[in-house]
Structure 1
Amino acid sequence: MPGGEVMQEADNARAYTEAVRMVLGELDRGAHLPEMPGRGAIADMIGRGLAVVSGLAADLQPAGWRLTGGGVGVDQRRARSLLSQDLDTVEELAQDYDGIFKVQVAGPWTLAASVEKPRGDKILADHGARRDLAQGLAEGLRDHVADVRRRMPRAARLVVQIDEPALPAVMQARIPTASGFGRHRRVDPPEASALLAEVLGAVTAAGAEAWVHSCAAEVPWGLVSGAGATGLLVDLDRVDATAIDHLATHLEGGGALGLGVVPSTDPTSELSDKAVTERVLRWLDMVGFDPEEYAGQLVVTPSCGMAGASTSWARRALGLAGATARHLS
């Protein structure tokens, strides 16, 4: 391996160790496995997802990730190796951690809209291929949950966050074809629910809680909750009147609700935990929920992923989320 690549990997390892320390320090009761997509395609949401998927081989092409007809490609092996290394780091630094611990992975519909079939075009275009992908993700998640549980036996609860930013576009025929001149046909709600339910069911069967996150607009939260998600993670700025009804029903049914109220990138002005707490309380008042009654079901989060945030803001944002959660409880 060239010297420059060795140095870069060492720098990435140090940065990841610092990220884990930051998460454990700021979120002492609700930590998570950090994602650092700046390390390249093998570390971003799609690369992480393909690292978990079982029984399907993939590799990187100029246009992005593509399934291969042969064995596991070198890039998929690198993605799996990096995920294992990251888990090694967490295992080493969180030996005494006994709170809630969360890992995250791209969902079946976001993967289907992002990964190509062996001969081109998205998996989304092929009913059989997208079913195989969902099954492979479900199987891989069973193993992944078992691995995380073995590494963190003292964690009180294990949560698997299924990221589905592409779900609304998949269901509204907004995913472009390979040519860029057309759009893939919409996926009907029964199929969208069925494949999502297969993945969520695998997480639950493995002994973890299945939560779904999307910071997109027009997410069909009723469908997501009905597919078996025990937690919903939303960007509060993108919650419309229809979504409020579904979120309220989910909360009343005993489900967890993550409110994305902390900016995911550096804000232009100072933000206090008091201001964030007041915003959450205003929203709860608007929808008619007593914060004392539902505090145990609420989670405070950044509005979306923090890949574009500075290190200082990432630390501050985690601190604000933790402080707000303590105020609410």
Structure 2
Amino acid sequence: MSENSETRSGTGFGPATGVGSLPGGDAREAAKTVTGSFEHFPHLPELPARGPGADMIGRTAGMLVELYARVEPSGWRIGDRPGRDTRRARSWLGEDLDALEEFTQGYEGPLKVQAVGPWTLAAALELKNGEAALSDPGACRDLAGSLAEGLRLHLDEVRRRVPGAEVVLQLDEPSLTAVLRGRVRTASGYRTHRAVDRQVAEAALRDLVAVNGDGPVVVHSCAPDVPFALLRRAGAAGISFDFSLLTERDDEAVGEAVEAGTRLFAGVVPGTDAELSDAAGSVMGVRTLWRRLGLHPGLLAEAVTVTPACGLAGASPAYARKALAHCVRAARSLADDPE
């Protein structure tokens, strides 16, 4: 990958990147697409169409240390020993890393990798009794500890393969708001699990943020009502979200995040096939938000990274490529014409 005349915006981030997933199952093609689209902020692609173990839960379960998971008809369940599903998840991750390494020879700059965060993982992984790990505070602690150790090993491996990279860790937490509000259903579907105390949730996230050392951590959620203040207190350097789900109720929290130096990963490009507006039109809502918050327009390029609204696994391959290129053009529009 080569640098061009564009200047990377911000510290530790680039002007545009992807969320994570792409359609298809060819790791080399995905890595080529991502590194070709995002010269200043590539990410490790995820290809869930390959099947269980390539999905976001299975992929992260494969990273766990001394905890293992297998696929049951109801979903992923924690087991006693590594089996076929664990081996498959680790094999696909290795394949993806091989492809990324091939297409990042000589690259220096921010590089993003993604994993499911502790609370979404606890809401998705089942215990032996079929209930979510979320039902057991001890299981949640064990899961978070195992995830932290697994992520340390994963990040070390990424740095070894791409030695010039400034590794950015993205924790995917689409279920976090439901966890905090007690909206995660039990196995029977008739009840919901008790809401997790916000201080407990924040502390667990803070421990996971610390795993990347001095490197930045982004928390992603494409669900409504992202808890911006909690994530900022937990140490997230960036917050990634579906911009279309913001409401004026979020203004104060978003404004405080920007003023505190938190990077906004604004998901402004649809994640499934759609007509794309011109680049300036895609970021018009970001400019409107900026004016509403009374923020200086010159800060836009330094405070915002443009992304798709969510992962692109449900898009067609042709649209996915267009969407990534469109993110780059939209980010350039923000930088070239902040007014």
Report the TM-score, using the length of structure 1 for normalisation: 0.91
1:294 Cα deviation after fit: 4.0
1:282 Cα deviation after fit: 2.1
1:27 Cα deviation after fit: 0.8
Distance 2:117 2:276 in 1: 34
1:234 Cα deviation after fit: 1.3
Match in the other structure for 1:106: 116
Does 1 or 2 have the higher relative contact order (CA < 8 Å, sep 6+)? Answer: 2
Match in the other structure for 2:170: 161
Question: Cα gap change, 1:270/1:214 in structure 2, threshold over 3 Å: closer, same or farther?
Answer: closer
Match in the other structure for 1:307: 313
Match of 1:288 among 263, 281, 294: 294
Match in the other structure for 2:15: none
Match in the other structure for 2:127: 117
Match in the other structure for 1:149: 159
The answer as to whether partners of 1:17 and 1:89 remain within 8 angstroms in 2 is: yes
Match of 2:210 among 177, 195, 201: 201
The answer as to whether partners of 2:62 and 2:69 remain within 8 angstroms in 1 is: no
5 Å-filtered alignment, 1:1-329, equals: 15-68=26-79, 70-155=80-165, 157-203=166-212, 205=213, 207-267=214-274, 269-329=275-335
Distance 2:183 2:281 in 1: 36
Deviations 1:208-248 (A, max 9, x none): 21110001011211111111101011111111233221221
Structure 1 letter corresponding to 2:189: G
Structure with the higher fraction of residues in helix conformation: 1
The answer as to whether partners of 1:145 and 1:208 remain within 8 angstroms in 2 is: no
Question: Cα gap change, 1:270/1:304 in structure 2, threshold over 3 Å: closer, same or farther?
Answer: closer
Distance 2:251 2:160 in 1: 38
The answer as to whether partners of 2:173 and 2:220 remain within 8 angstroms in 1 is: yes
Distance 2:58 2:48 in 1: 9
Over the aligned positions, Cα root-mean-square deviation in angstroms equals 1.4
Match in the other structure for 1:9: none
Match in the other structure for 1:3: none
Segments of 5+ residues of structure 2 without an aligned counterpart are 1-23
Please state whether the residue corresponding to 1:92 is helix, strand or coil.
Answer: helix
Deviations 1:99-155 (A, max 9, x none): 321010111010100010123211000000001001111111111111111111112
Please state whether the residue corresponding to 1:182 is helix, strand or coil.
Answer: coil
The answer as to whether partners of 1:220 and 1:243 remain within 8 angstroms in 2 is: no
1:58 Cα deviation after fit: 1.3
Structure 1 letter corresponding to 2:66: G
Distance 1:161 1:213 in 2: 7
> Larger deviation: 159-168 or 249-258?
249-258
Distance 1:99 1:297 in 2: 17
Please state whether the residue corresponding to 2:267 is helix, strand or coil.
Answer: strand
Structure 1 letter corresponding to 2:74: A
1:180 Cα deviation after fit: 1.2
The answer as to whether partners of 2:172 and 2:221 remain within 8 angstroms in 1 is: yes
How many residues were matched structurally? 312
Distance 2:151 2:233 in 1: 20
Deviations 1:45-74 (A, max 9, x none): 101111222121211111111111x22122
Distance 2:225 2:334 in 1: 27
Distance 1:308 1:199 in 2: 29
1:185 Cα deviation after fit: 0.8
The answer as to whether partners of 1:30 and 1:102 remain within 8 angstroms in 2 is: yes
Match in the other structure for 1:8: none
Match in the other structure for 2:7: none
1:165 Cα deviation after fit: 0.3
Distance 2:264 2:111 in 1: 16
Distance 1:327 1:77 in 2: 44
Distance 1:317 1:289 in 2: 28
Question: Cα gap change, 1:178/1:299 in structure 2, threshold over 3 Å: closer, same or farther?
Answer: same
1:270 Cα deviation after fit: 4.0
